[in-house]
Each structure stands twice: as structure tokens, then as C-alpha cells.
Amino acid sequence: MADEYRPLATLFHMDASTAAPAHLRELTHARLTADSTFRTGIATKLGELFIGMPRELTRQLNDVLARESSIAVLWNGIPRIMKHSYIVHAISEEILSTNDIEGVRSTRKEVQDAVETAQHEAGHTASNAPHDPYRTVRFEEFARLYLGLTDEQAQLPQTLDDLRTIYDDVVGDEITDDDRPDGELFRNGDVEIIGAGERVVHTGAHSEARINELLTQMLALMKSERIPQLLAATAAHFLFEYTHPFYDGNGRMGRYLLALNLRPTLTLPSVLSLSRTIADNRQRYYKAFSSVENPLNHGELTFFVQMLLECIAQAQTELIERLTRQLNCLGRLSAHCDDLGREHRLSEHARQTLFALMQEAVFGGRDGMSLDAAAQHLHLSKQSARKTVEELERADLITFTKRRPLTFAYTGELPE
């Protein structure tokens, strides 16, 4: 297409005339100063970082926001037990994905333990197990950060000190002593990122003073009211990775900051799906990042932003399919529970508990429900909840999986 919006470097290479450098300067100036362009005001060796607004990017933004409306409706139709299960699974997958990208060895059980422990600490769940305050769990602080995204009022970092605090929580003990920051807050020495063929693909900012300057501008960009939040979040993500303020752990922290920055615009399940999608598209991600660093592109972020929006769109599409399947399954569970309720003449509290146990059996990651959790679910005293459990036991619908604490699970057939 003759009017297709292309990278500046591509247009330069397509120009066979001797005036190609002059044409590139003119086109760069035209893009930078166009009324539709979002300028960051952040000067780098690449040029001022800016986002052009071709028609395709406008359409992508609109589609992302439209899909968010569909996701919000689906998410609001999901009961608490399913949401809890989904959040534990999604945070676990996010941490596993980001560890995988960074080459940090971790098992699914380690990460799920970290999420469950962080939830217990935050009072988000009625755990079946007593909490040991002296036990340290690997990745717990990282899990706690992601768990914080469940709060719609989650705060963006305000200061450079806040960024360092987040970093310490993200990396924990997963970096070597040699890779720990040696400046006041960030790294003091130079860093080189080596790509294929032992080639240096990125060098990062060259001093802690420059790191401080760029990250201060990044914090302002995150809060910008002049640039739409989806665009500002993706531009800030590039700037963080471009600055590369630490020797190790930049990728993990950058993806967490992106999730935090997208939280006001996107639903929780969308935000919690992003690292996995970036991991699935990492080669495209690296290619888009390198394209911005091409001097001929003069700091244009448009195509990097588009690539990240494509990752968000992929995560959303898969999420809509998954939530739709879960809601269809929930409908079949509800009908089966109603049939059993009539067959055994169950009280309303017993039917509610049975439905919760069925959800735990299908969607939950735990070995049933504790008596405390049942009381909490039914808004009853522990003694009243015990009578409900006894009713289900007489109907032969539950089995006890633990005696201390008293824990039970649904023992019957589940619908296909």
C-alpha cells in the first residue's frame, strides 16, 4: 500500500536518491511535529522519544478497549472461588514466565507456595494451614507485588527510592553478589547486553547520574495526563529497559512495572496474562526494541508500542475464550448442584456449600475447604457451618480430607 506507515529506517533504505539523508531529516521532523504525534520530551542519543499515530495504531487502541469491556462482563460473572483460583494460577504463571525469560530456575510448586503464602500474609484467603512466621518462602516478595495488583488503587512508584524498593522485592535472593547494585540506588558501572553471535546489542545508560535522570523522566511519563495511559505505559516500559538501571533483573522488574502501569486501564486478568504473552513473543519483542535503537528511526516508539498492543490483544483474545469456557462449565455445575439439592432435600446453606465445593474440585488448587472457610463463605458461625457440613456428610456428598484443621471435599460425579 502506497500510504502504509513504515519505519523511518525502511523509508530511508527505499530512497535510492542522493538526497536520501535530507529526505529522512525532513520526514523525521514532520513526524515529530505532527499534530497527532505524542511527544515525550525525553531526549536520548536516539533523539526525542515520540509516538506517531497512524490509523492502524488508533484502531488497535480502540480494539483493546472494546475487548476490555467484554472481559469485564465475563470477569464480573465469575464467583469468588473461581476468581481466587484464577488469580493464584495467573500470578504463578506470570512469575514462571518472567523467570523463564530471565533464566531463573523455578518450579510451579515453589511459585504457587509463594503466591499462597503472600495471600495468607495479606489476609486475602482463609488458609487451611497454620502460618509459620519464621518460614521464608522463595519468590514470596515477588508474589506479594503481583498480588498487590488485585487492588484497583495500587500505587505507581513516586520516587527513585520506590523503584529500588520494588527491585529488591522483585529479585530477592535470585541475583549473585557481583550483580547487586553498586551505586547509591542503581548500578554505577557500565553494562553490555550480548545478543546472538556475541554481538553487543545494548549498553544502557552510562552513569548513575544519567540513570537517575532518565528514570525521573520515566516516573513523570507514567503519570502523564497529556498522553493516553496505554501509550504512556508502553513508552515508559521501553524507557526503563533502555536505561537498564541494574546489572541483572531489569526484565523481571520492567514487566512488573508495565503490569502496574496498565492496571488502571486494563482488567486484572488481562494485566496478569501479559508476561506469558510477551514470553511467547519474545523474538518479536526483541526485534521491536532493536528497531527503536536503530539511529535511522530517530527515537520513534510507534512500532514498539504497536507490538506491545498486539501482545495485549493476544492475551485478551485467549482470556475471553478461557473465561467463556469457565462460565459455561459453571452453568453445568450449577444445574448439577440444583439436581443434587432436590434429590437430597438439602438446605440452602448446604446447597451453597456444595456448589462451592464443586467449584473447588474443578477450578481450585487446594485439597477441599476448611470449616473456617465454609463459615466465612456462608457468613455463619463455625458451629452453624458444622451443622451444614454434617448435613452434606449424611447425604454422602463429601469426604473428609483432613481432621486438623477439619477439611472436606466434594466426593461425587462432576458434569462433563
Binding residues for ATP: 248-255, 285-286, 297
For 49, 146, 155, 331, 362, the CA distances from 252, given in Å and listed in that order, are: 23, 12, 18, 38, 31
Sign, CA torsion 382/384/389/390: positive
End-to-end CA distance of the chain: 50
> Can the peptide bond before residue 405 be classed as cis, meaning omega within 30 degrees of 0?
yes
The DSSP element (H or E) to which 43 belongs, if any, is: strand 38-44
Helix (H/G/I), strand (E/B), else coil: 382: helix
Q: Which residues contact 359 (CB under 8 A, 6 or more apart)?
A: 79, 81, 82, 85, 330, 333
Taking the C-alpha atoms of residue 264 and residue 266, their distance in angstroms, rounded to an integer, is: 6
Q: Which residues contact 64 (CB under 8 A, 6 or more apart)?
A: 230, 266, 309, 312, 313, 316
Closest CA to 93 of 119, 72, 71, 112: 112
Q: Which residues contact 365 (CB under 8 A, 6 or more apart)?
A: 85, 88, 89, 112
Closest CA to 398 of 350, 363, 366: 350
Length of the chain: 416
- Amino acid, res. 125: T
Catalytic residue flag (residue 244): yes
Degrees (nearest 5) of the Cα angle 226, 232, 237?
155
Taking the C-alpha atoms of residue 157 and residue 169, their distance in angstroms, rounded to an integer, is: 13
Taking the C-alpha atoms of residue 330 and residue 362, their distance in angstroms, rounded to an integer, is: 9
Catalytic pick among 237, 244, 349, 377: 244
Report the DSSP beta bridge partners of residue 38. Answer: 51
Q: Are 136 and 115 in contact (CB under 8 A)?
A: no
Annotated binding site: 248-255, 285-286, 297
- Residues forming the active site: 244
